[in-house]
Amino acid sequence: MQGFLNLNKPFDWTSHDCVARVRKLLRLKRVGHAGTLDPAAIGVLPIALGKATRLLQYLPGNKAYKATIRLGVRTTTDDLQGEVITSQACAELSLAVVKTALSQFVGKIEQIPPSYSAIQVDGKRLYDLARQGATVAVPARIVEVFQIEVLDWRGGDYPELDVAIACGSGTYIRAIARDLGAVLETGGTLAALTRTESSGFNLTDSLTFSDLEAQLQAGTFNPTLPDAALQHLSSVTLPATSAQKWCQGQRIPLNPDDVSGIVRVYDEETRFLGIGQLEDGVLTPQMVFEPIS
């Protein structure tokens, strides 16, 4: 079995928990995931099966979320799973003011990841260092937010804002909640998070574990084809002799029109062979998925 599973991750499961469960259900050793989701988040978690684990690095990085931000509260983890650091009622806060502040978070922005995150500093995960009480200077990085749309606003002492966010890889929604609260001088934290899109997969097409188990029992489960998740890449087709040489690791002269960079490679029978790098008229193997004997 090889390909991708578009999993709807349940609440309070780590991404590693999900991989372990899929491995057990499918009786498959080679299982991996793209784009870690926090335990408190739900939604799209792409799971690679079999040889498709080697394709994870080539999936598109863009993601989309629906998030609830609670204002007036700061926590240690930048979400409701952490301890409250400060709490101050801000019933006077208006949606108009919040919308103006939100506009600062669209585009390429500098962001400091949460202290409780999977990022490594000096070979150690930030969440491990935070649990040990260590104080670590987390380096800022540039991320890109394409769009933030306000979905709902609930006023009160601790108002809540529902937003839809489309962003590039590496963006922390918890950090946006925290930083929005800082701009408003009220404090802010993430109250709920659903990932609606990730690496080309959509929530509407995702499977829960219950769905997966039912399909496995009925014998109807079919993973997404490996190359179906790579449609953002251009493709090239090789004649039989060239395809065989390419699968053996040889570089192939090739000059297709308007195609360069990382590409999907096929043979004349439309069989997906793997991933290549096309530069200066030469196609170099990067990952051979389907060898030809």
- Catalytic (active-site) positions: 38
**Distance separating alpha carbons of residues 30 and 3, to the nearest angstrom:** 11
Written as six digits, the tokens of 66 are 């629906």
What letter would DSSP give residue 36? -
Q: What are the CA-CA distances from residue 99 to residues 163, 165, 217, 249 (Å)?
A: 11, 13, 48, 54
DSSP strands (E only) in the chain: 3-9, 31-33, 42-49, 63-71, 73-75, 84-87, 107-111, 120-121, 124-125, 141-154, 160-167, 188-198, 201-202, 234-238, 252-253, 261-267, 272-279, 282-288
What letter would DSSP give residue 204? G
**Distance separating alpha carbons of residues 65 and 176, to the nearest angstrom:** 12
